[in-house]
Amino acid sequence: MSKIEYDRIDSLQAVYKRDQVQAQKAQDTEAMRDAKADQVETEAKAKEADRIEDEAQDAAKQSKNALKTEKEAQKLRKRADKQAEKAKAAREKSDLN
pLDDT digits (tens, 9 = 90+) for 15-47: 999 999 999 999 999 999 999 999 999 999 999
- 82 pLDDT exceeds 90? yes
HSE on the CB side for 58, CA within 13 Å? 6
More confident call, 85 vs 1:
85
What's the pLDDT at 1? 79
CA separation for the pair 40, 29 (Å, rounded): 17
pTM exceeds 0.85 = no
Q: What is the DSSP letter of 2?
A: -
**How high is the mean pLDDT of the chain?**
94
Q: What is the Cα–Cα distance from 87 to 83, expressed in whole angstroms?
A: 6
